[in-house]
Amino acid sequence: MLHKSMIAATLGATLALASASFAQQGAFGTADEAKAMLMKAVAAVKADKAKGLDMIAKVDGDFRDRDLYAYCFNLSDGTLHPFPNPNLKALFGKDYRTLKDPKGFNFGQVIFDTVTQKPDGQIAEVSGIMLPKPGSDPTPVPKTVFVTKVGDLGCGVGYYN
């Protein structure tokens, strides 16, 4: 009986540690995770543009993790392609260059300009964006976006600082 109690206690401690480890991963993505997701999105779009954009658009796919999600927009007209954040569907098909944060910063235009001024595949970082974290206090907090040019597209992934 003592042996079973020790096994149960060990199992309970292991599950508690696993839960704590998961919690330490955090509810929000990191800069490294955002950059890795962007590189994965770039590879998918380069391999097959149409298929890559379809993969990026899937809410339950590989291009959404907690608050991180990949997105792409046309460099010709700024049209934003569908991306895996279901809370922002109203933005699909809109001109990315018109997007502003609650403080009035036109981050869409800044990101668009940054992408068009860089060579294909060079990752740039745009900060100074103030947006509320999903599922938390609606007060805007700093967000940074990694962006790059992929042929005739600009693609990005942002993370909260």
pLDDT in tens, 12-30: 333 233 333 333 457 889 9
* Per-residue pLDDT band at 1 (split at 50, 70, 90): very low
**CATH number for the domain including 40?**
3.30.450.20
| Residue 9: inside a domain | no
Strands (E) located in the chain: 64-65, 68-74, 124-131, 141-150, 153-160
Residue 83 lies in a domain: yes
* pLDDT value at 9 more than 90: no
Tell whether 79 is covered by a domain.
Answer: yes
* Residue 130 pLDDT: 96
Is residue 20 a part of any domain in this protein?
no
Question: Does any domain span residue 146?
Answer: yes
At residue 117, the pLDDT reads: 96
Q: What is the pLDDT of residues 45-87, one digit of tens each?
A: 999 999 999 999 999 899 999 999 999 999 999 999 999 888 8
Query: Does residue 13 lie in a domain region?
Result: no
Q: In what order do the strands lie in the sheet with 141-150?
A: 64-65, 68-74, 153-160, 141-150, 124-131
Q: What is the pLDDT of residue 135?
A: 77
In a domain, 155, yes or no: yes
Name the percent of the chain lying above pLDDT 70.
Answer: 84
Q: Domain count of the chain?
A: 1
**Rounded to two decimals, what is the model's pTM?**
0.82
Q: Is residue 107 part of a domain?
A: yes
Mean pLDDT over each residue of the chain, to the nearest integer = 85
The domain containing residue 43 runs over which residues? 28-160
| pLDDT grade for 3, boundaries at 50, 70 and 90 | very low
* Residue type at position 121: G
